[in-house]
Structure 1
Amino acid sequence: MSKYAMFGKLTAHPGKRDELANRMLESSETLNGMEGCIHYILHADEDHPDDLWVTELWESEEAHAASLKNEKVLEVIGRCRPLIAGVTPIKVRPLGGKGFGGTA
């Protein structure tokens, strides 16, 4: 199986980025122990005050899809949704590097 990665751009409603980030970070323990999740990192965009970026690396696309059916993940999404004005997913194909830990 191939690793699965994506970047996600989350645009918060004006002035709500910090609140969105805090909700996401408070809920980050949801992904601890999530089967197939290698890393999930939240970043603040320094040039755009309403934008957050997420980088994700999963053991497989199936593991990522399964996470979106997880009851705890769905609860976090529901709590964050009112603060989100837009989402832009960007699928990428990981090639390797430090921390990659396997074949693409």
Structure 2
Amino acid sequence: MTFANIGHLGTKPGARDELVALLTRPSAELSEIGCLLYEVGVSDEQPDTVFVAELWTTAEAHQASLQLPSVRAAIAQAMPLLSGEMGGTRFEVVGSPLRS
């Protein structure tokens, strides 16, 4: 089954675009370890929030990605940009009308 992680990250005022740039840097490693989708978004209604939708082959692949040196470095770079407000949900995907 596919694993989904949908979340939001609060940023310090004015840091949203810097976090978006960090999160959208190309990474072949993510697809190699099992990331099927990694989408980053923003909303004018929440100017200090970044939204992330991730789809992984498994929950274990997601956990393994957190040990990659490039991901650990990106997390370290992101920390000073964050306000501490974050949330989201994780779930096992059971189906989609777009794929079999």
TM-score band w.r.t. shorter chain: 0.7 to 0.9
Q: Is the 8 A contact 1:35 1:63 kept in 2?
A: yes
CA–CA separation in structure 2 for the residues paired with 1:12 and 1:4? 26
Gaps of 5+ in 1: none
Instruction: Give the gaps of 5 or more residues in structure 2.
Output: none
Deviation at 1:47, TM superposition (A): 1.3
Q: Which amino acid aligns with 2:21?
A: N
State, as a whole percentage, how many aligned pairs show the same letter.
30
Q: For 1:19-58, what aligned pairs fall within 5 Å after superposition?
A: 19-26=18-25, 28-29=26-27, 31-58=29-56
Task: Please say if residues 2 and 94 of structure 2, whose CA atoms lie closer than 8 Å, have aligned partners that are also in contact.
Answer: no
Q: Give the RMSD, CA atoms, in angstroms.
A: 1.7
Inter-partner Cα distance in structure 2 for 1:12 and 1:72? 21
Number of residues paired by the alignment? 98
For residue 72 of structure 2, the aligned residue among 71, 74, 82 is 74
The whole-number CA distance in structure 1 between the counterparts of 2:24 and 2:36 is 17
More strand by share: 2
